[in-house]
Amino acid sequence: MIKFTVPNGHERQKARYFLAAHGKVSTNLWKKIKWQGQLFINSQPVQAASATVTGGDIISYELAAKSKIIPCDKPLDIVYEDDWLLIINKPCQQIIHPTHKTIHDTLVNIVANYYIHSGQQVGCHPVYRLDRNTTGLVIIAKQPQIQYSLTTSHDKIQRFYHAIVTGCPSPKEAMIALSIGRKPTSIIERMVRNDGQPALTHYRVIRQGRLYSHVQLKLYTGRTHQIRVHMAAIGHPLLGDDLYGGSRELIKRQALHAYRVIFKHPIENKRIDISIPLPSDMAALS
């Protein structure tokens, strides 16, 4: 059961308006609570449409977790878990969601299998995605409102990456502010374009080599292929990223690893700061 406390002194208003104003539920989630779940005020069941709350009230709700995801029995590298969140170290070649009804070995399929075997009746709601060949940390919410609360703005989560790039960027530390949009001739590839979406990436060279360098990056926006496009745009594509001009001679996939996340827990309000080491293929180049 999900619970929220109305701050003392808060004026009486409808429960739906309080939850929406405080970033607790989206419009779609409220509809599910109204039609498929049960809302409680101070542990008493109420009609969701008309329920009101005031300071000190405790709002809670139940929503049955229903999933059509077919479980897949594959290893899962869990680096953090509590009642609300699951954080996974995603391997290379692993996609997040099924892209076709015949695909049943994605990360959410594997997580669904883990939930069954650990006796958890919760959902699988990835907070963001990583490309198939990008390794590293993926945050999965166990309830839709947790996913919603972490995605209302990009700055809810600080995301850090390691990359191995061609050559050595100059200067050795800078902010890249270049808008990104679709490449007209491709449904996959992105490019820097003036009419694209604003995108902001900070990079810092932490180890310089003659042919390639190890770079640490932080995302300030979350555009598709953002790091890959930005580094290619300044003349330093990721090793292994042949889509954007990187050589596959030393590594067969884009050398990109999501190694650290920092955020405030949406329920417990504590600071979560998790880091993981480089995978072996990138460590061999670092």
Active-site positions? 131
Residues 6 or more apart from 24 whose CB is under 8 A from it? 4, 18, 145, 148, 149
Q: What is the DSSP letter of 158?
A: E
Alpha helix ranges (H) inside the chain? 15-21, 27-36, 107-117, 144-150, 226-233, 280-283
- Bridge-based pairing of strands 13-14 and 44-46 is unpaired
| Phi, psi values for residue 135, rounded to 5° | -95, 165
Q: Among 18, 266, 263, which residue's Cα sits nearest to residue 149?
A: 266
- Identify which of 159, 158, 117 has the alpha carbon closest to the alpha carbon of residue 136: 159
The span from the CA of 259 to the CA of 136, in Å, is: 6
